[in-house]
Amino acid sequence: MYLMKNVEQYAPQFFPVKNPPMRWAQKTMIEKAPIWCSVDLRDGNQALITPMSLDEKLEFFRYLVKIGFKEIEIGFPAASETEYEFCRTLIENNMIPDDVTIQVLTQAREHIIAKTFEALKGAKHAIVHLYNSTSVAQREQVFKKSKEDIIKLAELGANLCKEYRAKTEGHFRFEYSPESFTGTEPEFALEICNAVLKIWEPTPEDPVIINLPVTVSHSMPHVYANQVEYMSDNLYRRENVIISLHPHNDRGCAVADSELGLLAGGDRIEGTLFGNGERTGNVDIVTLALNMYSQGVDPELDFSNMPEIVEVYERVTRMHVYERSPYSGQLVFAAFSGSHQDAIAKGMHWREEHDCKHWNVPYLPINPEDVGRVYEADVIRINSQSGKGGVSYLMETKYGYHIPQKMRESFGYLVKGVSDHAHKELLPEEVLDIFTKHYVNVETPVSIPEVHFVQKGENAIGTEATISYKGSTETVHGDGNGRLDAVSNAVKAHLNMDFSLTTYTEHALEVCSNSKAVAYVGLEKNGKTYWGVGVHSDIINSSISAFLSALNAMLMDLKK
């Protein structure tokens, strides 16, 4: 019994290569950056609810150049006035850097090819990208043409492009796409591509791009890789052909298709930032490039200011970068859960203490700083799933508190409890606030407004302390082997209670360029430890404040 009643109406829509050699399967890494071609301004733009305006396209174009794209498909000049004007604006205003080649898309129809070349007048160089659909479904349903007639259409387009190129000044290269390649029999895709190549006759000086689009994704990535390998092995004048890949993401496999396709012979990738594009989008170039980067391969694109890239992209496309989009999403470096935070904090300390050549911090595939993200804001995020490791790491890296190991658990549970009850994430300032209110310089119910010490021997100190408690103020005395011990003994005697001082640590604290001293005290009573922290410009005052804070925590607890 099927849960979804229509499963029987589906069957695989792809044509696997017979007996594929699968040499690509022996490879494990992409070893150099492919030629990148951004199709944000064409495939990305044609899929937007409101396509970009001229100004938005100009801003996006400049940004793509800044990222480092050397080939940019700027549009479909015959599609609309905006598309045409955009192409003219770039050319007439000399806005295309010499090392950047614009690319334009055209169908195999004369008036569209004519308009495309008209749009390119004055361009120093460009790629003219011709396509027609070759899949069984499109041949039968859309074009209602035989294989021979589909080849004739491609040949017509290829010949027209050649003719118009001859009539137009500028250095123009050609690209051909057997559109819907993944729904096409590989033998037929090869036949039609070779027919086009025989018209264009690629040479080393004039190589041709054969683009193998996953127009719609129908198969698992290895099936596509076999198709790419088959084309690469059999294309006419392969040595003068650049194999381009253009995967869409219908099955969520565009990145895998691209990576395996590159292993199988692809030289070039057409994709978009954050995977914008028709339906589920084109392949996300950010992911592809940073996947390479994370393995030590220079992607030759600059994504070091991801927050800015996301801002520009979201503004001009009116799309949203998904929070979990690899490398770019708001949450992709965030660790909320305790064990992840603990491992990240320890991994970061390990890096400080060891001479690590390679990045291998647990749970962080790359250093978030490499893409312009910051640890405190983006990595350690605190909610009810967090633990002591993350909370302490935050307090240390953002506020300079080195909370003693033994105190961390108590603080971790305190923070977790606040977040759990409020049912929300806590910002770093809120975590600091909890810490301050709960532990630092707590002066109720007991306070010590004044304290003096006298040295009574080599290891003996006496104190005279003024203690305020429950509305009365008294001067008390005590002796000890140090100042804190003397105050502790004086308080014990005055309050007639017993406890032991189990932890004491101190360190300097940088607060707004002033150095203060921070002390941490743990007092134990009936098997339970109470914590206090003192912050003061003077270390003696800090330690007494820490002691008092712990004592007050104990008194409040005993009162319950």
Ligand X SMILES: CC(=O)SCCNC(=O)CCNC(=O)[C@H](O)C(C)(C)COP(=O)(O)OP(=O)(O)OC[C@H]1O[C@@H](n2cnc3c(N)ncnc32)[C@H](O)[C@@H]1OP(=O)(O)O
**Residue positions in the annotated binding site for Mg(2+)?**
43, 246, 248, 282
Distance CA 269, CA 71 (A): 10
Nearer to ligand X, 132 or 463 (CB): 132
Residue 72's nearest CA partner among 102, 46, 98 is 102
Residue 215 within binding range of ligand X, rule CB under 6 A: yes
Which one-letter amino acid corresponds to residue 329?
A: G
Given candidates 14, 60, 69, 131, which one binds ligand X under the rule CB under 6 A? 131
Residue 192 within binding range of ligand X, rule CB under 6 A: no
Residue 303's nearest CA partner among 318, 314, 315, 291 is 291
Residue 108 within binding range of ligand X, rule CB under 6 A: yes
Through-space distance between the first and last CA atoms of the chain, rounded to whole angstroms:
61
Residue 85 within binding range of ligand X, rule CB under 6 A: no
Residue 246 within binding range of ligand KIV, rule CB under 6 A: yes
- Closest contact distance (angstroms) between CB of 437 and ligand KIV is 58
Q: Enumerate residues 6+ apart whose C-beta is below 8 A from 97.
A: 65
Which one-letter amino acid corresponds to residue 92?
A: E
User: Residue 23: CA atoms inside 13 Å, Cβ hemisphere, count?
Assistant: 8
- Closest contact distance (angstroms) between CB of 41 and ligand KIV is 13
> Helix, strand, or coil here: 471?
coil
Long-range contacts of range 297-300, CB-CB < 8 Å, 24 or more positions apart? 297/29, 297/30, 297/31, 297/32, 297/33, 298/33, 299/33, 300/33, 300/36, 300/68
Residue 76 within binding range of ligand X, rule CB under 6 A: yes
Is 119 within 8 Å of 87 (Cβ atoms)? yes
- Closest contact distance (angstroms) between CB of 215 and ligand X is 5
- Closest contact distance (angstroms) between CB of 84 and ligand X is 11
From the list ligand X, ligand KIV, none, partner contacted by residue 211 (C-beta under 5 to 8 A by kind): ligand KIV
- Closest contact distance (angstroms) between CB of 117 and ligand KIV is 18
User: Residue 222: CA atoms inside 13 Å, Cβ hemisphere, count?
Assistant: 10
The two beta strands, 125-133 and 171-179, are: parallel
Given candidates 135, 138, 177, 552, which one binds ligand KIV under the rule CB under 6 A? 177
Nearer to ligand KIV, 43 or 56 (CB): 43
- Closest contact distance (angstroms) between CB of 275 and ligand X is 15
Distance CA 534, CA 36 (A): 57
Residue 381 within binding range of ligand KIV, rule CB under 6 A: no
Given candidates 30, 37, 64, 79, which one binds ligand X under the rule CB under 6 A? 79
**Helical residues (DSSP H) of 29-175, grouped into ranges:** 45-46, 54-67, 81-92, 110-120, 136-137, 147-167
Binding mask 437-466 vs ligand KIV (x if CB under 6 A, - otherwise)?
A: ------------------------------
For the segment 17-56, give every residue that binds ligand X (CB under 6 A). 43, 46
Interface stretch with ligand KIV, choices 209-217, 219-227, 365-373, 440-448 (CB under 6 A): 209-217
Residue 78 within binding range of ligand X, rule CB under 6 A: yes
Q: Enumerate residues 6+ apart whose C-beta is below 8 A from 128.
A: 103, 104, 106, 116, 117, 120, 161, 165, 172, 173, 174, 175
From the list ligand KIV, ligand X, none, partner contacted by residue 386 (C-beta under 5 to 8 A by kind): none
User: What does the binding site for ligand X look like in residue numbers (CB under 6 A)?
Assistant: 43, 46, 76, 78-79, 105, 107-109, 112, 131-132, 142-143, 153, 179, 215, 278
User: What does the binding site for ligand KIV look like in residue numbers (CB under 6 A)?
Assistant: 43, 105, 131, 177, 179, 211, 213, 215, 246, 248
